[in-house]
Each structure stands twice: as C-alpha cells, then as structure tokens.
Amino acid sequence: MSASDETLTTALIVDHYIDSRAALRAYFGNPHADPVRFTGASPADVARDLHERLAELELSQSLILLAAIEASFRIDFEKRCAGRKRAKLAKTFRQIRKTRGERIRLEEDILETWKAEGSLSRALIGDIKGALKLRHWLAHGRYWTAKLGRKYDFDSLVALAEALDESDLLLS
C-alpha cells in the first residue's frame, strides 16, 4: 500500500472548520439574504438552526480529524515495514505485516505495539484509543448511544492531534 498525496494535516482541517463556522454564522446572521430558506422563521428558529448546523459541523470535522490521526499511524506503519531499519518497532511491525497481511488493526496491532515499545506515551495512546470510540460512533452512523468515557469536542481532538504531531515520532 502506498501513501496518498491527499492526506490532511491538522492545520488544514482546523482552517476548514474555522472557515465553515464563519460561513455558517454569516449565513444565519443575515436571514434576509435567503428569503426562501428563512420565510416564516422566527429569530429563535434561526438561532436554533444555526446551533444545530454548528454542532453537526463540529462532529463531521471531528470525524475527519480522527481519520487523519488514524492515517498518520497507518502511514508510519507502512513506512516502517517498507524500510530496512533494524529498530525493534520496525521489526515488530514487519512481523505483524507478515502475520496479518493487509488486515492490520489500528488499536490491537499498531497502537498496542507503540505502547509496548514505550517511546510514545501511554497517556497519549490511551487518549487516542478513547477518541477512537467517538470515531467509530460517528463513522457508523451514530445508531447507538455512545459511551465515550469523557466528552470530546473539536478543540480537545485538535489538542490530541497536535500532541501527536509534537511527539515527532511518527514517520510522515
């Protein structure tokens, strides 16, 4: 598998979120600009609709951010497998690749190996695993009541992605 040229950085995702949020606020802040959409809507209706759209934007951008975090781990995995380094992490990843083929599991194979190797903090790995519960819930259509253990918002996920970026341990 080769890495795509279309992977997203945290900065690009944050910029898109900020721009989209500003656009929604501008759109809902001037309901007279779209009389068909807002005909008969009270100020409370407009405020409610804006709040709902902003909440949905936050969830959708959170999913994209979590997918980008997953992609960074998978790209790192592939690069370490393809390389000839004799480091313990690379050797373990190559053994996992040999055993599991293309069916590499993010949590069990990649994150647990990072945890056992010890260079990526256990706390960060735990936070990522917790956030992946949100990703699963979002990616599978939110058809169950999520039990996440803590509340995640876009800002907390950005902080998580930035902590991973700042660790400077993943090959990109």
- What values do phi and psi take at 101, rounded to 5? 65, -130
Residue 10's CB is within 10 A of a number of other CB atoms, namely 19
Other beta carbons within 10 angstroms of residue 46's beta carbon come to 17
- Residue 169 CA, distance from chain mean position: 18
- Write the DSSP assignment of 114-160 as a string of letters: HHHH-SS-HHHHHHHHHHHHHHHHHHTTT-S----SS---HHHHHHH
Q: What is the pLDDT of residue 122?
A: 93
Average pLDDT of the segment spanning 58-84 = 95
pTM for the predicted model, two decimal places: 0.90
What is the model's pLDDT at position 24? 98
* pLDDT tens, residue by residue, 80-89: 999 888 889 9
| Tens-digit pLDDT profile for residues 23-35 | 999 999 998 889 9
Please compute Rg for the chain using Cα positions: 20
* Element holding 54 (H helix, E strand): helix 43-82
Give residue 93's identity as a one-letter amino acid code. Answer: F
Is residue 156 pLDDT above 60, yes or no? yes
The rounded mean pLDDT for the chain is 93
Which of the two residues, 7 and 106, has the higher pLDDT score? 106
For the stretch 139-154, pLDDT in tens is: 999 999 988 888 999 9
Task: Fill in the amino acid letter for 17.
Answer: Y
- What are the distances in angstroms from CA 160 to CA 62, 117, 152, 168? 11, 20, 10, 13
pLDDT greater than 80 at residue 5: no
pLDDT at 36 over 70: yes
